[in-house]
Amino acid sequence: MLLLDVGPAEESQFLFYLLPVTIGIQLAIYFVYQYYKIQDVNLKLNRILLSFGAFTFLMVFGALFINVQRLFGGTETDIFNRIGWACALCSPIGFLSFITIEEFSSIMNLKLVKTIIALGFTPIIVVLVFGASRIFLGSLPFAVLGAYYILGFQIKLIRRTMGNIHKRFLQFFTGELISLASIPFAVIVGLGVFESPLREIVYFFGVGLLTTGFIILFISAYDFPPFYEFEWKENLLKFFVVNQKKNTCLYYCNIEEILRYLDAPLDLKVDYSQTPGDKMFSGGILGIESIISNVTGTKDTKINEMRQEDSLILLEYGTNPSYITYALVVKKDLKSIRHFLQSLTRVFELLFREVLLNVDNLKEDIERIFVGFDGYMKDFLKR
């Protein structure tokens, strides 16, 4: 019967395998937590976190059930074997299901993905009905196709991203490859290629690889940054912080110029100061509140965007003080860019709150006070 007549070798193997199982379950939960942590910004590309969470959860539980059947045997455990294989085979489907959205269409064929998902159910149905039979082995290529597509998708993802998010996906991929490297060891043990004690050595080495891969995945998932649209940086132009009360520009940043020299050597001196044209442009932004008030007849009307020839001016308003306006000039409005502007606003107010509250009483060159924000802007753009 199940769990009876268990030797010390089986016990030690099972207990050792509980280590990656525990890490894997926590990892899956953490992926989901990270997604819902930033869900309010409505960035669809962050569904990739749900993909990793579903993939990890199903793979871990699938392997756990298969291990129970292998170690403890008995006719009663055949159902564990079938459920285990079904869960493991569902993992590629779980991964692909969450990212089959329009936002990922630039790096994946959505119709092809839906076809792969449909074909992926074939080995699942077969193993649940017939068990690990020859028919099941013949249907496995459908599952392999899904796994192969996931690897190809992640390679494209790494190539299309940059900055911190690029490093995270590279870590994800590394952790996955190390985890997947444990599969050949699991197959060798499952087929009984070696006798004891070599079989146990192979087993523990494979589980060690799986655990190492999960740990790398956990590190890469920690405090995962928002995943913006692929082309969001290409649409950024300029950023202004203006004092509507005094009709003055407090801070200016030419984002295009910063992006151009983002990876330049630290000792390279670049002038990011306003040009005469930029000063005229910032002057056009000043007085927005009074213009809107005159047109609408109200003092509390706020607008979120303005069209300026071939560009768009996105606006955010300060909370304390409320007369500070944050203007981001872009080529195209994206949800990622909206979140970027909100982040800039929040950090700027946090860093310079006391200065902003007393800005009307300052007599020195105001722009010199806020020029230190250039460093924070670079950090934002490296994400």
Peptide linkage before 20 cis (omega within 30 of 0): no
- pLDDT surpassing 90 at residue 317: no
Residue 281's pLDDT is what? 55
CATH topology of domain 8-221: Rhopdopsin 7-helix transmembrane proteins (1.20.1070)
Helix boundaries (H) for the chain: 8-37, 48-72, 78-99, 110-130, 134-160, 163-180, 183-191, 198-221, 255-260, 276-285, 288-296, 335-357, 366-370, 373-381
- pLDDT surpassing 50 at residue 268: no
| 58/95 Cα distance (integer angstroms) | 10
- Amino acid at the residue 328: L
Residue matched to tokens 């269409």 = 105
- Condensed to tens digits (0 to 9), the pLDDT of residues 114-167 reads 999 999 999 899 988 888 778 888 888 888 898 889 989 999 888 887 777 888
Instruction: Count CB-CB contacts under 10 A for residue 101.
Output: 13
CA distances from 285 to 27, 111, 317, 328, 373 (A): 47, 45, 13, 11, 20
pLDDT band of residue 1 (cuts 50, 70, 90) is very low
Residue 121's pLDDT is what? 93
3-state SS, residue 109: coil
Query: Which tokens in the block code for residue 307?
Result: 């069209």
Q: H or E element: which one contains 215? A: helix 198-221
Question: What residues are paired with 253 via a beta bridge?
Answer: 239
Residues of the chain with CATH 1.20.1070: 8-221
| 164/297 Cα distance (integer angstroms) | 46
Residues of the chain with CATH 3.30.450.70: 233-381
| 380/164 Cα distance (integer angstroms) | 10
The CATH code of domain 233-381 reads 3.30.450.70
- Condensed to tens digits (0 to 9), the pLDDT of residues 354-371 reads 888 877 776 666 667 788
Q: Residue count of the chain, please give it.
A: 383
Q: H or E element: which one contains 83? A: helix 78-99
| 66/68 Cα distance (integer angstroms) | 5
CA distances from 177 to 51, 142, 209 (A): 16, 20, 10
- Condensed to tens digits (0 to 9), the pLDDT of residues 4-38 reads 556 777 778 888 888 888 998 999 999 888 888 77
Q: H or E element: which one contains 186? A: helix 183-191
